[in-house]
């Protein structure tokens, strides 16, 4: 079942979204393949520390996070990738590594790659490794208020 916190948030904001189940998958690229989605439309959430504060870097599954670009875009002095132990307690209703890119629900900033807007829709893990949600990019941007930046490379 998808994250109850996320579902309640989307429903209370009257956002249209689709929920899809797929065979168990751990990586965003694997999820896209198993759900028969374009890998560029499937978002992955990379947890980072920006000057010691947890944040989400959200980018297409077929792109790589460029830490130097994120440092420049965020204005942070230090950017570090997080290990699972750094953040697993922040998402109690989610499986580790399957948290949705809604940092606003967890009191953290979200940095989203500009290229995510290309398709007009965004797909992402719904809190577990067997279900994803898909919604319009405009709704995602309106609800999450991400910092939309150039921070990835192919």
List, in order of start, the domains of the chain with CATH numbers.
Answer: 4-153 (3.90.960.10)
pLDDT tens, residue order, the chain (154 aa): 577 889 999 999 999 999 988 777 777 878 877 777 777 888 999 999 999 999 999 999 999 999 999 999 999 999 999 999 999 899 988 888 889 999 999 999 999 999 998 889 999 988 888 889 999 999 999 999 999 999 998 7
Alpha-carbon distance values, 126 to 99, 150, 152 (Å): 7, 25, 23
Segment holding 40, helix H or strand E: none
- Check: pTM over 0.85? Answer yes or no: yes
DSSP symbol at 130: S
């Amino acid at each position: 079942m998808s994250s109850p916190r996320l579902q309640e948030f989307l429903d209370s904001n009257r956002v249209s979204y689709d929920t899809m189940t797929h065979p168990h998958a751990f990586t965003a690229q694997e999820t896209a393949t198993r759900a028969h989605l374009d890998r560029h439309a499937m978002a992955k959430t990379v947890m980072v520390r920006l000057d010691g504060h947890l944040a989400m870097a959200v980018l297409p599954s077929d792109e790589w996070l460029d830490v130097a670009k994120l440092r420049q875009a965020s204005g942070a002095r230090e950017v570090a990738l997080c290990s699972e132990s750094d953040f697993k307690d922040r998402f109690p209703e989610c499986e580790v590594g399957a948290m949705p890119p809604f940092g606003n629900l967890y009191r953290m900033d979200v940095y989203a790659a500009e290229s995510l807007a290309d398709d007009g829709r965004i797909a992402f893990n719904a809190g577990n490794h067997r279900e994803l949600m898909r919604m319009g990019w405009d709704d995602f941007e309106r609800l999450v208020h991400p910092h939309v930046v150039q921070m990835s490379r192919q």
